[in-house]
Amino acid sequence: MKIVAYKAGGDYCCRPDTTLNHNNSDYWCPEGVSLLKAVPTVYTHIDKAGKCVAERFARRYFKTVAFGCLLTDASGGVSEAIATSMDFTSIMDMGWMDNPAQTTLKFEVNGNEIFSAAGKDYSEDFARAIVDITRRSTLRIGDIIALELGEGCTVKPGDTITMTAGEKTVPIKIY
């Protein structure tokens, strides 16, 4: 299983499954990491394998959407490939949204709102990402696509990230 972090411009990278923090656990920075980049995401699980998926079929590859966050090393001097592979940095257990178009998403750091969205379905965004990703990579059942929602922000030990999707709120403390 891999996690595909997909940016709005079409760039993407694959994260190993060791980056998955599926229990909404607090995050302990590895030694030497003093600054992180936190990016809010919506994500989905892939329900069927695919390669070179045509746009008209892309919506068949996923069913549900959830809210999460990706963390990377922003301390400087670290290549992007290494920065995206730190253990437990893909925070993805907010629960599935029954109706994403009617769910308000909020992403805050220390009580300051960084991102907020409401009234968006994301189906077309995921379909476009699936078409783009499968041109170069095979998706398997269980893979996760995480669509980055903006640039995010930097966080450091002592900060608290709070993610809210509808009625569910998850705080993640950075140590």
Query: For 80-108, what is each residue's pLDDT tens digit?
Result: 777 788 999 999 976 788 888 889 999 99
Query: For 4-15, what is each residue's pLDDT tens digit?
Result: 999 988 899 999
State the residue range of the domain holding 125.
2-173
Q: Are 27 and 97 within 8 A, CB to CB?
A: no
CATH number at residue 107: 3.90.850.10
- What are 95's strand-pairing partners? none
Q: Tell me the C-alpha distance between 57 and 160, whole Å.
A: 40
The torsion angle over the Cα atoms of residues 137, 76, 111 and 15, rounded to 10 degrees, is: 20
Distances (CA, A) of 153 to 41, 45, 108, 136: 13, 25, 10, 29
User: What total number of domains does the chain contain?
Assistant: 1
Query: For 37-84, what is each residue's pLDDT tens digit?
Result: 999 999 999 999 999 999 999 999 999 999 999 999 998 877 777 778
Token pair, residue 16, equals: 């190993």
pLDDT mean across residues, the chain = 93
